Amino acid sequence: MTSKASAGKEALPAGIDRILIPAPRIAGRVEELGRQISEDYAGRDLLLIGVLKGSVVFLADLVRRITIPCSIDFISLSSYSGTTSSGVVQLLLDLQKNPEGRDLLLVEDVVDTGLTLSYLFQNLKTRRPKTLEVCAFLDKPSRRKTAVKPKYVGFQIPNEFVVGYGLDFNERYRNLPHVGVYKEPS
Ligand code: 5GP
């Protein structure tokens, strides 16, 4: 007979040590964030900017919980390889339209050292938006190397490498409905 604990373990895909945030908790929090953003940005010109690719799943759910008119655009940067940051941020894909004078909300998967966000902030500030804020699905405050502070945070998490709900390890695991802690398969 299989124990409950080992049965749970067996259900996890290879490479996932444990589930950190189950799908129903994510859905509840995304709904709260959508409600808050809808209140805060009512009557304004909200443009959600998804940072590819990690924020795609979060952005897709979040935008459907926002009840005011808004639009979306995407930007893509690179700095991670495997589980470590290269420390060098590169712009791979820029916004389609000029965001000048608009209320920008950057949608990030996870803020870790904050270096990516600092780069993005500086870059977008030069385009003269009306306002610029950040909504991060996950936040690892213990790892921060910069002063950036997201206005909205889904969940604060400990210093662990996580995957799922859009977050990858070498392009895998983005499709998991929950957030799990990654562990090198033995
Ligand atoms: P930062 O520049 O803040 O150190 O890193 C931000 C980026 O690193 C995130 O947008 C994400 O792509 C990647 N990253 C940081 N921590 C994790 C993590 O735990 N899991 C995954 N999959 N990516 C992470």
- Residue-wise pLDDT for 128-161, tens only, equals 999 999 999 999 999 888 988 899 999 999 999 9
Distance of CA 81 from the midpoint of ligand 1 (Å): 10
Least confident residue range of 46-60, 85-99, 132-146: 85-99
In short, whether 123's Cβ falls inside 6 Å of ligand 1 is no
Residues catalogued as catalytic? 112
What average pLDDT does the segment 54-73 reach? 98
In ligand 1, the atom with minimum distance to the C-alpha of 163 is 22
Ligand 1, atom 17: closest residue by C-alpha = 161
Domains parsed from the chain with CATH numbers:
46-172 (3.40.50.2020)
What average pLDDT does the segment 8-23 reach? 84
Strand-strand pairing, 70-81 and 84-93 = antiparallel
Predicted pLDDT at 20: 97
Predicted pLDDT at 4: 39
Q: How far is CA 27 from CA 30, 80, 155, 162, 171, in A?
A: 5, 27, 12, 18, 23
Q: How far apart are CA 105 and CA 73, in angstroms?
A: 10
Confidence of residue 83 (pLDDT cuts 50, 70, 90): low
In ligand 1, the atom with minimum distance to the C-alpha of 89 is 2
What average pLDDT does the segment 50-67 reach? 97
In short, whether 162's Cβ falls inside 6 Å of ligand 1 is yes
The percent of residues in the chain predicted with pLDDT above 90, rounded, is 75
> Quick one: three-class SS letters along the chain?
CCCHHHHHHHCCCCCEEEEEECHHHHHHHHHHHHHHHHHHCCCCCEEEEEEECCCHHHHHHHHCCCCCCEEEEEEEEEEEECCEEEEEEEEEECCCCCCCCCEEEEEEEEECCCHHHHHHHHHHHCCCCCEEEEEEEEECHHHCCCCCCCCEEEEECCCCCEEECCECECCECCCCCCEEEECCCC
Distance of CA 7 from the midpoint of ligand 1 (Å): 30
pTM (global) more than 0.85: yes
In short, whether 19's Cβ falls inside 6 Å of ligand 1 is no
In ligand 1, the atom with minimum distance to the C-alpha of 118 is 2
Predicted pLDDT at 5: 42
